[in-house]
């Protein structure tokens, strides 16, 4: 959530309250009053549930983090939570994307500068590190594969900035207290762009909740809340929210931890084309396997029926894409296929999808130095992270001389996301050499 002023937050909050009151009135008019006395057992069960919820909230609140990103022309705000005693924090990538710097406040108001350790734009996840000493309260990631529709879940967040008041008001006392909402899991394995295997929930998730934890009643984090469906042009809760599942996050952690502030990439089985299933009991037909591709090297053949991927059944192409979307490039995933009546298990090595992305806008130059000028650098791009600046001149790309934008485009087309290349530059007459890990797009 970006660039929301206090007045905008209050206006959205009032809209949410009005809608909630309206729906509450509808419910009250739809049902006759309950006249029978509740039994002692029912009251005891409700009290036990309430006690458990209070205990989970009390245990989880200290690990909650309020996140503020300096965007230059304003601030982005969102939620996050510690996942280790040494101060690693998870949040949504869209909360911190493009920020010049990111700071964090713990529940209660402790302030910390942060370092962006790694980003997963394709999965909307970012890993930060608090710059501070001592042990931090933290939450453990649970097993999102065990989550079922109808299961009760909790969310901690900072909706409409209600929990982080007066942060940027000089002299005013700041308030840092996350809000709690409760609901149920509506569905699992929802597929859409970026949210490939999302947990759908009906609990209240609004602007500012992005990056906060989705918590089970045993205190385990099973997802990161980050996306809502909106209606009537109102960016408020409609009862349909989505969370990035914890198992997906866990697979990416080892890559995020060593990303050095860069982006990690999602994997795909390159060279494999699948169709829709023709039979309810069958898997997905393998339509084509490109010769010499990673898919061919993994043993796939046209005519195979793909039944399971990563141990999970595959019944639709969207489910196939959803499962793949939870794995980073470089990982290996087990694929169970049926070939001429025989079941086989293949090991597919996932490669980065998409085109290689550098993140600089070239321009023609008039100079004694042969090369391509850098007209501008895209914020948070591989070029910016490597230290390339506007006005630089790219003279060589991984050992190949670059004299025109056409040559730069040609050598970029020969590269894949995740490749590390060496660029030679000229900056104000000084020769530089920088390593750049290419992103994907």
- With 0-12 / 13-18 / 19 or more C-beta atoms within 10 angstroms meaning exposed / middle / buried, residue 342 is exposed
Q: What is the pLDDT of residue 2?
A: 46
Architecture of domain 6-256: Beta Barrel (2.40)
Bridge partners (DSSP) of residue 286 are 274
Q: Where in the chain is the domain with CATH 2.30.42.10?
A: 267-352, 356-440
Are the C-beta atoms of 138 and 84 separated by less than 8 Å?
A: yes
Are the C-beta atoms of 192 and 325 separated by less than 8 Å?
A: no
Q: Where in the chain is the domain with CATH 2.40.10.120?
A: 6-256
Q: In whole angstroms, what is the distance from residue 72 CA to residue 99 CA?
A: 8
Which phi and psi (to 5°) does residue 181 adopt? -135, 155
The pTM is what? 0.77
pLDDT by position in tens, the chain (length 441): 444 555 555 555 555 444 455 455 555 545 545 545 567 788 888 899 999 999 999 999 999 999 999 887 778 899 999 999 999 999 999 999 878 899 999 998 899 999 999 999 889 999 999 998 889 999 999 999 999 999 999 999 999 888 877 666 677 667 799 999 999 999 999 998 779 999 999 998 888 899 999 999 999 999 999 988 876 556 667 789 999 999 999 999 999 999 888 889 899 999 999 998 877 777 899 999 999 999 999 999 999 999 999 999 998 999 999 999 999 999 999 999 999 999 999 999 999 876 788 888 888 777 777 889 998 887 667 888 788 999 999 999 999 999 888 889 889 888 877 788 999 999 988 999 998 888 776
Are the C-beta atoms of 377 and 359 separated by less than 8 Å?
A: yes
* Residue spans of alpha helices (H) in 210-362: 246-256, 294-297, 317-324
Which phi and psi (to 5°) does residue 350 adopt? -85, 135
- With 0-12 / 13-18 / 19 or more C-beta atoms within 10 angstroms meaning exposed / middle / buried, residue 434 is middle
Q: What is the pLDDT of residue 28?
A: 53
Are the C-beta atoms of 336 and 344 separated by less than 8 Å?
A: yes
Instruction: Please calculate the CA angle 160-164-168 and round it to the nearest 5 degrees.
Output: 105
Which phi and psi (to 5°) does residue 405 adopt? -65, -30
The verdict on domain 267-352 having CATH code 2.40.30.20 is no
Q: How far is CA 330 from CA 86, 168, 173, in A?
A: 27, 43, 48
Bridge partners (DSSP) of residue 360 are 377
- The CATH class of the 356-440 domain is mainly beta
Element (H, E) at 158: none
Are the C-beta atoms of 179 and 162 separated by less than 8 Å?
A: yes
Comparing CA positions, the residue from 100, 103, 240, 229 lying closest to residue 167 is: 103
């Amino acid at each position: 959530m970006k660039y929301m002023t206090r007045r905008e937050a209050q206006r959205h909050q009032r809209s949410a309250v009005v809608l909630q009151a309206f729906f509450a009135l509808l419910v009250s008019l739809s049902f006759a009053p309950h006249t029978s006395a509740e039994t002692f057992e029912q009251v005891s069960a409700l009290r036990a549930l309430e006690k458990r919820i209070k205990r989970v909230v009390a245990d989880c609140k200290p690990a909650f983090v309020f996140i503020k990103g300096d965007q230059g022309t304003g601030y982005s705000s969102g939620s996050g939570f510690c996942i280790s005693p040494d101060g690693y924090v998870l949040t949504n990538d869209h909360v911190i994307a493009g920020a010049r710097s990111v700071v964090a406040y713990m529940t209660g108001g402790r302030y910390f500068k942060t370092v962006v350790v790694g980003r997963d734009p394709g999965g909307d996840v970012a890993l930060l590190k608090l710059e501070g000493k001592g042990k931090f309260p933290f939450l453990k990631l649970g097993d999102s594969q065990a989550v079922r529709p109808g299961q009760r879940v909790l969310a901690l967040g900072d909706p409409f900035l209600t929990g982080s008041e007066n942060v940027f008001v000089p002299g005013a006392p700041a308030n840092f207290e996350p809000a709690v909402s409760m609901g149920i899991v509506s569905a699992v394995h929802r597929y859409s762009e970026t949210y490939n295997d999302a947990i759908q929930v009906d609990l209240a998730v609004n602007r500012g909740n992005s990056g906060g934890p989705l918590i089970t009643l045993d205190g385990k984090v099973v997802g990161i809340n980050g996306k809502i469906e909106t209606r009537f042009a109102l960016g408020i809760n409609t009862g349909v929210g989505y969370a990035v599942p914890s198992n997906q996050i866990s697979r990416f952690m080892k890559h995020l931890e060593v990303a050095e502030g860069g982006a990690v990439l999602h994997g795909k089985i390159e060279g494999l084309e699948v169709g829709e299933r023709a039979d309810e009991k069958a898997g997905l037909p393998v339509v084509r396997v490109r010769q010499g591709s990673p898919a061919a090297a993994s043993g796939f053949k046209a005519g195979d029926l793909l039944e399971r991927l990563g141990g999970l059944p595959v019944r639709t192409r969207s489910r196939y894409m959803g499962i793949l979307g939870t794995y980073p490039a470089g990982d290996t995933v087990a694929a169970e296929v049926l070939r001429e009546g025989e079941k086989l298990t293949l090991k597919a090595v996932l490669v980065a999808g998409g085109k290689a992305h550098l993140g600089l806008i070239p321009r023609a130059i008039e100079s004694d130095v042969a090369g391509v000028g850098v007209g501008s650098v895209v914020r948070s791009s591989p070029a910016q992270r490597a230290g390339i600046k506007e006005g630089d001149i790219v003279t060589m790309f991984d050992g190949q001389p670059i004299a025109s934008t056409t040559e730069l485009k040609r050598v970029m087309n020969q590269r894949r996301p995740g490749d590390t290349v060496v660029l030679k530059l000229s900056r104000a007459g000084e020769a530089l050499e920088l390593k750049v890990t290419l992103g994907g797009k």
